């Protein structure tokens, strides 16, 4: 009898503890954290893959303006000329994804697979990858050859694109 009473007492205590307002507070905190994460997810921008036709619409229509640079975008941009098999390109990709989030709404970041879009690679004389084209809203673009770390990207963005 004492054993049954003890088990009933322990079970009741555990049940009341599990259903206490403290647990509801933790649940509410978890819901708030989940809501914050969803807001951050909505802000996540990604690097956009460009085909030749998309390049003409979003960056420059080189058929209409073969002799001069006429930027079609409404924000400064970076274009990463890369290849899927390139080690330094693979190292650069996550940095560009991070920068796309950091500078969401301030600049666009695109990528062009040089094996798939050979016309674009030839148009810009891409011979080494990664090659990065920094395009200010006004003025001529600047090409950077070779991988960069995040600090180098941020310095280039501030000095070239967001002056």
Catalytic residues: 86, 89
Alpha helices in the chain (DSSP H): 2-18, 21-43, 52-58, 87-102, 118-123, 150-156
For residue 150, how many other CB atoms are within 10 A of its CB?
Answer: 14
**Closest-CA residue to 129 (of 98, 92, 154):** 92
Torsion of CA 26, 32, 34, 39, to 10 degrees: -170
**CA 150, CA 93: separation in Å to the nearest integer?**
11
**Closest-CA residue to 86 (of 54, 55, 127, 123):** 127
| Beta-bridge partner residues of 80 | 111, 132
Sign of torsion over alpha carbons 38, 161, 139, 122: negative
């Amino acid at each position: 009898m004492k054993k049954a009473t003890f088990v009933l007492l322990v079970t009741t205590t555990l049940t009341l503890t599990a259903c206490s307002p403290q647990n509801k507070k933790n649940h509410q905190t978890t819901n708030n954290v989940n809501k914050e994460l969803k807001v951050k997810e909505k802000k996540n921008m990604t690097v956009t893959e460009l085909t030749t036709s998309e390049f003409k619409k979003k960056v420059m229509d080189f058929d209409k303006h073969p002799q001069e640079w006429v930027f079609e975008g409404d924000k400064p941009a970076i274009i990463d000329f890369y290849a899927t098999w390139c080690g330094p390109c693979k190292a650069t990709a996550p940095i560009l994804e991070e920068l796309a989030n950091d500078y969401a709404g301030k600049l666009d970041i695109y990528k062009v697979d040089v094996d798939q879009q050979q016309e674009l690679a030839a148009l810009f004389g891409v011979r080494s990858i990664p090659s990065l084209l920094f395009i200010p809203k006004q003025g001529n673009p600047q090409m950077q050859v070779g991988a960069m770390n995040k600090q180098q990207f941020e310095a280039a963005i501030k000095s070239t694109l967001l002056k």
